[in-house]
Structures are given as C-alpha cells and as structure tokens.
Amino acid sequence: MSQDNRATLGRRGLLTAAGALAAGLAGTAGSAAAADPARCGPVPFGPVSVRPGDPRYESPLLADSQRFVGRPDEVRVVGSTQQVGKAAYLKRSYTDTQLSTIYRHLTNDTGTPACGMLLIGYGGQVRAVEPTATAVAQRDAVMKAVFHSIWAKETDDDADLTWLRELYREVYGDTGGVPVPGEVSDGSYVNYPDVDLADPSWNTSGVPWHTLYYKDNYPRLQRVKARWDPLDVFHHALSVQLPR
C-alpha cells in the first residue's frame, strides 16, 4: 500500500486484541462461576475463525455487535480488513446542498454496502466544559458526523479511498473540502486522524489541520509539548508540533 493510503487502519490487530480480551474475560468469569454456580453464564466455546466471506469479517460494523456469542476461548483472524474514517463536528444541520450531496454519494454505485455515514449526538455535559479547559475545543457541537469506508481486498484500496475522499471533499466544498469552523461546521475529531487535512491537495481552505482539530487551543498544546517532549520523541504525521 502506498504512502498516500497511510490513513488506512488495519483491523487484524484490533480483532486479535478483542479476542484476547474476550478470552481473558472468559477465564475470569469461569473462575467466578465455579465459586458461585448461580453466576454461571454461557458455556465457553472455541476456537472461532473470522475469515473473508463471514459477515462478521466483511462488515466489521456488524461484527461489533455480533462477533461474540457466549465466551470464545480463542478468536482466529484469517486475513484482514481496512477501515478509514473521516469526521466533522456539526453546530447545526447540514445545508440542503450538503444533504443532497450526502444522499447522492450514499445511493450511487461507486460505494459498497460497507461505505456509510454515522451521526453521533453531542451536547449535554459536553457543553458544561469550557472550550479552553481541555484539548477538545468543540463544546458547542450538537453532532459528530463520521464518514467511513471498510473493505477487505487490497485491490479495492483506490476505489474505496476515492469514494470516501470525494464524498468528504464535496460535502465541504464551500469551505475548501474540509469542515472549517463556522456557522454549520466546527472542525474535525482528532481520534480519527486524517492526514488529508494536512494535504493541500485535499484541504484547499487555507486553514491548517491543527486548527480543524484544536482550534485556538493549539498554541497551549505546543507549550505543553515543549515542556514534556522537547526533543519531539513522540511524533507522527498529525502530532502536536514544537513551537517555532
């Protein structure tokens, strides 16, 4: 896979870790049940193989709720999938133009059944925290939008990444292809690191990636970085940079 596709996240490690966690929980629950028969739950079984062709493999979103039935002794992952997500905060509903764009991309024949969009509610206690109190400044958001694409075959890399990138860029076409903070949008969500935000071919807004993530909190985060990591030991493509 080329460096242009480095935003992809392999799921082999995630599934393997989930299996190890499930196995550990099974051992703990089994010991408790032996001491107290009333606490007996499903009988452990396994091993379980998750491979291409299995709906739990082909659709990791479905697998999140259906991967484990009972307490498996082991989960074997055969092959791997790729998952890429792009995010944006919303202060209010998308405009009619944006909604039409989203609908068109979700219903045309360029995507797959594993391509989609999530809307996650915000508000409540999130708003009780001052924008400058933490690294996360988006305290007025009412929703977080997540655009995602999931696929299993390396030969599908270009098609799936293109679908996701073009959808995102067109939804935010009026602000340079990214969710620039304003009346509708309020930047992006850093836990889904998106290197396209730092690429001028995908972000033509003139607004730097760190403003999309941290808004006015970035200079303070740089001062923290200078104090605790002055040699920039811990870094990646979208890590907080040392002050210049």
What integer pLDDT is reported at residue 43 of this predicted model?
A: 45
pLDDT score for 156? 84
- Cβ contacts of 109 within 8 Å, gap of 6 or more: none
Closest CA to 222 of 244, 198, 194, 201: 244
> Which of 68-72, 95-99, 194-198, 240-244 bottoms out in mean pLDDT, i.e. has the lowest?
68-72
Confidence (pLDDT) at 242: 96
Is the link from the previous residue into 52 a cis peptide, with omega within 30 of 0? no
pLDDT in tens, 9-27: 344 444 444 444 444 444 4
pTM over 0.75: no
Q: How far apart are CA 190 and CA 135, in angstroms?
A: 10
Question: For residue 79, what pLDDT is reported?
Answer: 52
Q: How far apart are CA 137 and CA 210, in angstroms?
A: 12
With vertex at residue 9, the alpha carbon angle to CA 225 and CA 118, rounded to the nearest 5 degrees, is 95
> In terms of pLDDT, which residue wins out, 19 or 175?
175
79: left (phi over 0), alpha (psi -120 to 50) or beta: left
With H, G, I as helix, E, B as strand and everything else as coil, classify residue 120: strand
